Structure 1
Amino acid sequence: MLARLRLPRWSPARGNGKLQNLFRTTAFKLSFAYLLVFATFAFLALGYVAWNAGRVLDDQMVSTIEAEINGLSEQYKSGGLRRLISVVERRAGEPGASLYLVTTAAGEHVVGNVGALPPGLLAEPGQTEAAYARGGSSSLDHRAIMRIFTLPGGFRLIVGRDVEERDRLRSVIGGTFGTSLILVILLGVVGGWFVASRVLKRVDAMTETTRRIMAGDLGGRLAVAGNGDELDRLAQNLNEMLERIGELMRGLREVSDNIAHDLKTPLTRLRNRADEAVRSARDAEELRLAMEGVIEESDGLIRVFNALLMIARLEGVSTGELMAAFDVGATAREVGELYEAVAAEAGLSLDVVAEDGLCLVGSRELIGQALANLIDNAVKYGAERPDAGGIRVTAERRGPAIRLVVADRGPGIPEAARGRVLDRFVRLEDARSRPGFGLGLSLVAAIVRLHQGSLELEDNAPGLAVVVILPVLAVEDRT
């Protein structure tokens, strides 16, 4: 057994597939886009800093040169050329980046710390940036910002500032600039990979769960991390959808089982009646009576299937298809008028107390059908105790909702069975002797769910009170 066990081996194709999946994720693409935006911003910001730092240094050097020129001008005014040469000689000997040079009209060196200049530079008075050689050297391997003046007698005065510090600073800023961009790109790539891999991991987990669900594990649910992000919200909505699908599937299985069990008896009875009519009918009158019984049984079965079809339609219909504004109170009074004669025939009174102006956006026909089913049940079971009182239907406004109540004085429903009787084909033991198939309350529950309401069964002491609450604002918002 152990000899046959082989562990999966990593292959480049498999690794490349994972990387390709990673690169295709929206998270990685967004991270890469953010990286480009941030890198561009960093490039512009650092470039502006570098350019502005160079400009500030240039301004400082020009200001220093202007201050030197002003001082030398004062010396020239007070002592003439001899005094100027003396001051220049002294300043040129001091350490620093300042440059001084006095030449004759022919360009011969008189005094200063500048060894050589490019040819023709002295013929262009004014400010310039040019190469120069330090004193004692002829190699023009340095650069400086200079101001050139022409003095009386053709003498030239040059005052400048070496730009080596500026160039060094620019070099440092340029190196920092490149390093920063590389770090930004590396951090962006690593961050994008980290974010995308975490998102991909969660998406892969969701995909695996959905595959199990598609394979038949309808109890599977998507994992929720609990941090409230968009994936959590998606997982919660999908879980709610799966829960609803599970309920529908369970309902479908229950309906199939209930049809197989509860409709078997009437179908068998229908078949037996037809068979008995064929075998034992002695004349046309007996055959006609037998056929009337068969038709009555068939009508009952048709009503059952119509109820099942209506419940299925209500559970799959879009709410906007049936919604319109109508007066719930008027509907309750109309349904009450239809059942007054039925209730009186059963020895019961039927009172309808409905407020005026109970406007609801919903389906008038379906709400009327729900009230009719509830009143029909109340008449059917309330007739067992006609001495205890009649049936009372109320419709009233309770805050942002409309409350409909159908109360009778019959035997009621035990509290333990109140949740179960809302399912299809469920009938309590003491109700099996009465006609019906246990679909009335199921249909009412489906109608209430369609209107986003709630259905409650309460004790009427004695009897049963069915309470339907329809949220007006929630329904109106959908329109």
Structure 2
Amino acid sequence: MTRLTRFTRTTAFKLSLLYIAVFTVMSGFLLLYISRSTDNLMSEQVVQSVDTEMKGLADIYVRGGIRELVETIDRRSRHPDASLYLLTDFAGNALVGNIARLPTVVLEEADGDLRRVRYTRFGQDTEDAERQAMVRTFELRGGFRLLVGRDLGDQLRFSNLLGNALRLWLAAVIAMAAITWIFVSRRVLKRIDEISATSRRIMHGDLSERLSIAGNDDEFDRLAVNLNAMLDRIVILMQSMKDVTDNIAHDLKTPLTRLQTRIETALRVEKGEAGYKAALQATLDETDQLLRIFNALLRIARVESMAPATEMEPASLNELIAEISDLYGPLVEDEGGHLEVDLPEKLEAECNKDLIIQVLVNLIENALKYGRPETGDIHIRLSGWREGERVMLAVTDNGQGILEKDQDRVTDRFVRLEESRSEPGTGLGLSLVKAVARLHGGELRFMNEAPGLSARIDLTPVGKDSSRSDDGDGGTTGGEERSDGS
């Protein structure tokens, strides 16, 4: 009983009942309309046939008198499919015709009106042979009365046939609707139960669960795809939060311990004013470094928590990169290098300009720190181009690149390769670049140029859908990367 009650409360059950009712009413109306229209048409044909017969017999009576009328009626009434005829004298005695039994009131009211009557033909005297007909009765000169009619057997049989068809059709509609209802309801309930079961497992902590997709692209598949994408996004945000927490717990423990040790040492040892001032200055520097790390972590977390297409707008990459070139060109020259810009005309993309500027700045500073060649001056190229349905931006240097074994980990937080540890930095710059690339529906990729390293991100051109399928982990796909010191 509980299962039945649950079943009848479903939307599928209610919609099925509605569809059954609407389809039944419409089918019944259609068949009833056909039946009525056909009955009216056949009735009109009967009336026209009776009127034509009556007019012809009246003309025969006028031309040839009663004898010729009797002979004509006798001849016509002998045909198997003949109309109905009955001619009586002034006393009501039958002179000729093919009607054996008829209500007497029909002949008494010889007013020419059309009547539906029951009758019995000659040769069919049983009550079971009583049939229906449409007749007219006229009184002729001399007291004669003439009845002409048409049997309604064919019309009644057709009406019965339509009635049976209507009943059969309604029964078939109800049966088919019930079968469809059961099938649809079971299928819908099954998909809903699967979604509910998966949701319960997810609520119990198994975030790897995903809604099943049947592959027929129905509304449940579309719902499952969107919910799975939402779950992927939630997992990314939760993982990001976990990473930040783990990073703070592990990677910031050492600088905080060092800061505590420095303060305790300064309090324990009498150093005088100069010594305390140097200790405070070192402590302040360490504090500034910690604040930079916290700010970088918070900025990465904010970027990763943003939804795709958030604050995206059409931007001219030519203007954006020109501003960066004007700012960093002199800085690269001061370092004894050269900054080159290589862009096609009117290169535009849907992006967050502030974040893209931060990405390019991080990559340029990374190239300045780690992209110097063993001999010669550093050369940095800032380039962009269209590749398929994406816009590519790249920062390329002429340094040593990185080893393939380090490619999968260099964009993780606080990761710094051994050759980079002598340079100042936090190891968070590339993590921010990767987060921004993923926010724009792209990814961060590195390619060794031999010599040099090319750091690339891809964006959506203006006028294209800003979302792109993602594998959910935001990882790079090939290419070589290196540690960041920004």
TM-score band, normalised by shorter chain: 0.7 to 0.9
Deviation, 1:273, is 1.4
Letter in 2 for 1:83: E
Letter in 2 for 1:198: R
What does residue range 37-116 of structure 1 map to in structure 2 within 5 Å?
A: 37-66=22-51, 68-69=53-54, 72-73=57-58, 75-76=60-61, 79-92=64-77, 95-96=80-81, 98-114=83-99, 115-116=101-102
Residue 438 of structure 2 is matched in structure 1 by 449
Q: Is 2:306 the counterpart of 1:317? A: yes
1:376, 1:423 → 2: CA distance? 18
1:36, 1:103 → 2: CA distance? 56
1:429, 1:295 → 2: CA distance? 26
Residue 183 of structure 1 is matched in structure 2 by 172
Offset from partner CA, 1:398-439 (integer Å, 9 cap, x none): 575443221122231223432432222222233234332221
Letter in 1 for 2:114: T
Q: Is 2:19 the counterpart of 1:34? A: yes
1:289, 1:268 → 2: CA distance? 18
Deviation, 1:263, is 1.4
Q: Is 2:15 the counterpart of 1:19? A: no
- Kindly indicate whether the alpha-carbon contact (under 8 Å) linking 1:455 and 1:468 is maintained by their aligned counterparts in 2: yes
SS in 1 for 2:114: strand
The partner residue of 1:364 within 353, 358, 369 is: 353
Unmatched runs of 5 consecutive residues or more in structure 1: 1-11
Q: Is 2:373 the counterpart of 1:373? A: no
Unmatched runs of 5 consecutive residues or more in structure 2: 468-486
SS in 1 for 2:180: helix
- Kindly indicate whether the alpha-carbon contact (under 8 Å) linking 2:113 and 2:137 is maintained by their aligned counterparts in 1: yes
Q: Which range moves more in the overlay, 136-145 or 459-468?
A: 136-145
Letter in 2 for 1:472: P
What does residue range 263-282 of structure 1 map to in structure 2 within 5 Å?
A: 263-282=252-271
Letter in 1 for 2:156: D
- Kindly indicate whether the alpha-carbon contact (under 8 Å) linking 1:348 and 1:386 is maintained by their aligned counterparts in 2: no
The partner residue of 1:351 within 337, 340, 365 is: 340
SS in 2 for 1:290: helix
SS in 2 for 1:111: strand
1:164, 1:122 → 2: CA distance? 25
Offset from partner CA, 1:155-188 (integer Å, 9 cap, x none): 1111112223322332232122122112211211
The partner residue of 1:239 within 217, 225, 228 is: 228
2:82, 2:204 → 1: CA distance? 82
Q: Is 2:141 the counterpart of 1:152? A: yes
Q: Which range moves more in the overlay, 464-473 or 205-214?
A: 464-473
Offset from partner CA, 1:137-168 (integer Å, 9 cap, x none): 79896432112233221211111122233223
2:58, 2:465 → 1: CA distance? 90
Deviation, 1:465, is 0.9
The partner residue of 1:125 within 95, 98, 111 is: 111
- C-alpha spacing 1:390/1:90, structure 2 compared with 1 (3 Å): closer
1:149, 1:83 → 2: CA distance? 17
Deviation, 1:237, is 2.1
Q: How many residues align?
A: 463
Q: Which range moves more in the overlay, 185-194 or 169-178?
A: 169-178
Q: Scaled by the length of structure 2, what TM-score is found?
A: 0.85
SS in 2 for 1:266: helix
Letter in 2 for 1:58: S
SS in 2 for 1:275: helix
- C-alpha spacing 1:339/1:425, structure 2 compared with 1 (3 Å): same
Deviation, 1:117, is 2.8
Letter in 2 for 1:116: L
Deviation, 1:285, is 1.1
- C-alpha spacing 1:320/1:227, structure 2 compared with 1 (3 Å): closer
Offset from partner CA, 1:199-257 (integer Å, 9 cap, x none): 11111111101110111111111111112222112212222222232233333333332
Letter in 2 for 1:56: L
2:463, 2:240 → 1: CA distance? 26
Q: Is 2:151 the counterpart of 1:162? A: yes
1:118, 1:426 → 2: CA distance? 116
> Identity rate of aligned residues, in percent?
40
Letter in 2 for 1:256: T
Residue 7 of structure 1 is matched in structure 2 by none
Give the structure with the larger helix fraction. 1
Deviation, 1:334, is 3.0
Q: Scaled by the length of structure 1, what TM-score is found?
A: 0.86
What does residue range 306-345 of structure 1 map to in structure 2 within 5 Å?
A: 306-318=295-307, 322-340=311-329, 342-344=331-333
SS in 2 for 1:119: helix
What does residue range 193-204 of structure 1 map to in structure 2 within 5 Å?
A: 193-204=182-193
Q: What is the aligned-residue RMSD (CA, Å)?
A: 3.0
Letter in 1 for 2:71: S
Residue 206 of structure 1 is matched in structure 2 by 195
- Kindly indicate whether the alpha-carbon contact (under 8 Å) linking 2:293 and 2:426 is maintained by their aligned counterparts in 1: yes
SS in 2 for 1:134: strand
